[in-house]
Amino acid sequence: MVIFNTGSVAESVGNILGWDNLSSISGTTLINMASQEVNYIEQFTTDAISDDSISEKYQPAAIDLTMSKALISIDAQAGGISDVKLGDLSVKGGNSSNAELAKQLRTDAIARLKELQRTVRYKRVIGC
């Protein structure tokens, strides 16, 4: 089992988006963003999650939420990213594409968190 911390989340975000694209955001700021999103996940799921120990099931959501926040921050600072490709999702253009991608990342992350909350219940029926 791989355990992440907020620094690992920040590093993953930097590697996915490209460190050159994140030049307007310091490493400390990115780690703080990751910490805020881990707190969001903790409140959303009501599970105890430490910044130093993020289990595998929360890592994709933490990364997506942090990427979303980073893209919004880049837009706010007018740095912008021209082209971004994440798996099958590819967005080209200026700052407006960042907002679109950020919204999609956040939506996907929240959907993952909702799936984690589902509980499976089994009912045993004894026949006559």
Q: Containing H/E element for 67?
A: helix 59-76
- Helix pair 95-117, 27-45: axis angle to 10 deg: 40
Instruction: Give me the residue spans of the domains in the chain.
Output: 6-117
Q: Could you read off the pLDDT of 35-63 as tens digits, one per residue?
A: 999 999 998 888 888 888 898 888 999 99
Which amino acid type is present at position 65? Answer: L
Q: Could you read off the pLDDT of 68-124 as tens digits, one per residue?
A: 888 888 876 654 555 666 666 665 555 556 777 888 888 888 888 888 776 656 667
50 three-state secondary structure: strand
| Cβ partners under 8 Å of residue 99, min gap 6 | 71, 72, 75
Q: Could you read off the pLDDT of 59-68 as tens digits, one per residue?
A: 999 999 999 8
Comparison of pLDDT for 33 and 3, the residue scoring more? 33
Report which of 30, 32, 28 is spatially closest to residue 14, judged by C-alpha positions. Answer: 30
